[in-house]
């Protein structure tokens, strides 16, 4: 019987977490811990190595320290971007937040403001937030690894609420200014959030997103009022965005 993708994804996440905690492990150790076959562990390790998360060696694997360092740098950028974004949130705002990890981090930095957050990111339920912040989850089908809630159920629930502000993260931006995502199921929800907020849309993303793109379009740069990104973005790109009337904030 074919194993469900969600089960495989969850096991691989647990395998990666275990390797991270131990630094170096043997294949035999993983087989015994996760009660799976040698070929299953081999496939899991091949997959994690293809993502740059681990380094394989004969009989086992170790965490990729270089990847860890790069991830830490990226996380620091996301934290700074999210913290700055929180400055644009006002009392009594109703806010759409999509499944972006950077957008989700904004929740941590909203302090002493009574706001409603409507999000399709299931991870929002595990973030420690200010008691004045009210989080509403759209519900829907939850997909790994982003824990994004998608599908008709999520979209219909989203349509039953209103927002004056949307905070959106993306997978990349094309040269033509198209905002893209790598997950087809998230397209409709992202489009709705961009098109239905009544005041402004804030794009939160690190500068690498301006040199890459994904397969599915959710909108264009003209949908955005404010971009918050890190200071590694080129000056020419900032100038071209500002010519379109977009406010660019560098952190």
- Whether residues 79 and 171 fall in one domain: yes
CATH number for the domain that contains residue 17: 1.10.10.10
Domains: count for the chain: 2
- Whether residues 130 and 206 fall in one domain: yes
- Whether residues 53 and 144 fall in one domain: no
- Radius of gyration for the alpha carbons in the chain, expressed in angstroms and rounded: 20
Task: Tell me whether the omega of the peptide bond preceding residue 211 falls within 30 degrees of 0, making it cis.
Answer: no
Mean pLDDT of the chain: 93
pTM over 0.85? The answer is no
- Whether residues 171 and 59 fall in one domain: no
- Whether residues 99 and 140 fall in one domain: yes
What is the pLDDT confidence band of residue 143, given thresholds at 50, 70 and 90? Answer: confident
Q: What is the tens place of the pLDDT at every residue in 25-43?
A: 999 999 999 999 999 999 9
Please state, in angstroms and rounded to a whole number, the distance separating the CA atoms of residues 26 and 65: 17
- Whether residues 58 and 129 fall in one domain: no
pLDDT value at residue 100:
95
Task: Establish if 45 belongs to a structural domain.
Answer: yes
Q: What are phi and psi of 109, to 5 degrees?
A: -105, 5
pLDDT at 80 > cutoff 90:
yes
pLDDT value at residue 211:
86
Beta-strand relationship, 178-181 and 165-168: unpaired
Average pLDDT rounded to a whole number, residues 13-33: 93
Residues 6+ apart with CB under 8 A from 101: 78, 146, 169
Q: Is 193 exposed, middle or buried (0-12, 13-18, 19+ CB in 10 A)?
A: buried
Domain containing 23 equals: 5-63
């Amino acid at each position: 019987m074919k194993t469900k993708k969600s089960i495989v994804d969850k096991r691989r996440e647990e395998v990666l977490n275990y390797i991270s905690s131990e630094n170096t492990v043997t294949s035999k150790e993983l087989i015994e811990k996760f009660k799976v076959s040698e070929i299953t562990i081999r496939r899991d390790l091949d997959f994690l190595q293809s993502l740059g998360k681990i380094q394989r060696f004969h009989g086992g694997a170790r965490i990729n320290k270089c990847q860890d360092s790069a991830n830490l740098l990226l996380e620091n950028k996301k934290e700074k971007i999210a913290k700055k974004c929180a400055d644009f949130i006002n009392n009594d705002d109703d806010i759409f937040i999509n499944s972006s990890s950077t957008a989700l981090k904004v929740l941590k930095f909203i302090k002493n403001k009574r706001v409603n957050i409507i999000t399709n990111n299931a991870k929002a339920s595990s973030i420690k937030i200010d008691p004045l912040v009210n989080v509403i989850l759209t519900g829907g089908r939850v997909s790994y690894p982003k824990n994004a809630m998608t599908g008709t159920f999520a979209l219909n629930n989203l349509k039953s609420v209103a927002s004056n502000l949307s905070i959106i993260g993306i997978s990349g931006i094309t040269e033509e200014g198209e905002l893209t995502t790598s997950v087809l199921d998230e397209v409709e929800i992202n489009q709705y959030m961009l098109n239905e907020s009544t005041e402004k849309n804030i794009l939160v993303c690190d500068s690498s997103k301006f040199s890459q793109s994904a397969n599915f379009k959710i909108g264009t740069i003209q949908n955005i009022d404010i971009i918050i990104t890190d200071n590694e973005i080129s000056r020419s790109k900032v100038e071209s965005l500002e010519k379109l009337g977009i406010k660019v904030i560098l952190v």
